[in-house]
Amino acid sequence: MRQLKRANILTENIIFIILNLVFLSILVLFLFSKMGAAAVLEEKYAKEIALIIDSAEPVMTVTLDMSDAIEIAIKEGVAPGKIVSIDGNVVKVVLGGEGGYSYSFFNDVDVVASFDSQNGGRYIFFITEK
């Protein structure tokens, strides 16, 4: 009888340890995916573009070098012209297949984002009055 009880305790502990290892490995994989260059650059550029638009005045043209983000987007299968989109007062930057990162600005202007195919790694933002 004693050996059966010890065997039960041992199998329960092994199952508990295996489940913990599976959970921790999933957690580590999630953290590494969020610490990747794409997620960080999405957030960085969305916030940077929103701050530029907030500080801009109507009838301005702003050029932003995004060559590092464009390289990552091409590796992930995103077309360079689809990286930055502006809808209303929300800037969205997508560098991977997932949702991307959105950030809003407060300036009451119309903004058109255009990929500069002549100079490769630049986006041009045309800011006009509403």
- Model confidence over 42-82: pLDDT tens digits? 999 999 999 999 999 989 999 999 998 999 899 989 999 99
**DSSP-assigned beta bridge partners for residue 115:** 123
Pairing of strands 109-116, 122-129: antiparallel
Highest mean pLDDT among 7-11, 36-40, 61-65, 76-80: 61-65
Cα 7–Cα 10–Cα 16 angle in degrees, nearest 5:
140
Query: For residue 115, what are the contacts with CB-CB under 8 A and spacing of at least 6?
Result: 80, 81, 83, 84, 122, 123, 124
| Distance (Å) of CA 18 to CA 7, 13, 21, 23 | 17, 9, 5, 9
| Distance (Å) of CA 101 to CA 39, 49, 63, 89, 106 | 8, 12, 20, 14, 17
pTM for the full model?
Answer: 0.73
